[in-house]
Amino acid sequence: MSPLIDQVVATARESVALRLNQGSSGNISARAGGGFLITPSGRDMTALAAAEIVAVGMDGAYPEGAKPSSEWRFHRDLYAAFPEARAVVHAHSPFAVALACLRRDLPPFHYMVALAGGMDIRCAPYATFGTQALSDAVLAALQGRRACLMANHGLLAWGGSLAGALALALEVEALCGQYLRACQTGEPVLLTAREMAEVLEKFKDYGARD
């Protein structure tokens, strides 16, 4: 087994430890060669074995008998649309799901929203899991962004590494929680387009982002 497969398994397990996922919810992938490696369908993330990680081609082909995540389509389409993407984390985390069930974008209530690449974090319209319609909706929400919410579903984040994608997913989940708590007290004061533009400019040199 390759080190990258081991990293996908480790990231899947970590997503549960970080409470981004639970049981068999969510999925993880990493670009590999002319395709990608993805977690299998319907498996408890904490019980994954390296042999269960599935190699999927950009044409959607995978080995006979293998069971890739039902969401493999938006992973494939994301890698095709964003050449710089090396890993994808999809999570059913509590706060992101709660906000996604309201079908609301995450507005610029906090400057860290810019970490996803834009002035806000969009919520993709609802479509049935595993469908091309969902992939199309997600790709539209990700234009100019590295993360999005998925209506009545969860969140998705991509990065230049598995660690980077996981870290961004964790940040988006934290932001969703902060925003929902702020909304319980009143209407959060949003940063202006100018203020967010300044943050986006600063984030170009912010740490070792991937």
Assess whether pLDDT exceeds 60 at residue 208: no
Assess whether pLDDT exceeds 90 at residue 189: yes
Assess whether pLDDT exceeds 80 at residue 172: yes
Q: How confident is the model at residue 1 (pLDDT cuts 50, 70, 90)?
A: low
Confirm if 36 and 56 have CB atoms less than 8 A apart. Answer: yes
Provide the mean pLDDT of the chain. Answer: 96
Which residues are marked as active site? 71
- Please give the Cα distance from 57 to 39 (Å, whole number): 14
Global pTM reads 0.95
Encode pLDDT of 30-48 as tens digits. 999 999 999 999 999 998 9
Percent of the chain with pLDDT over 70: 98
Q: Identify the CATH assignment for 3-203 out of 3.40.640.10, 3.40.225.10, 3.10.20.600, 3.50.50.60.
A: 3.40.225.10
Q: How confident is the model at residue 206 (pLDDT cuts 50, 70, 90)?
A: confident
- Please give the Cα distance from 116 to 202 (Å, whole number): 13
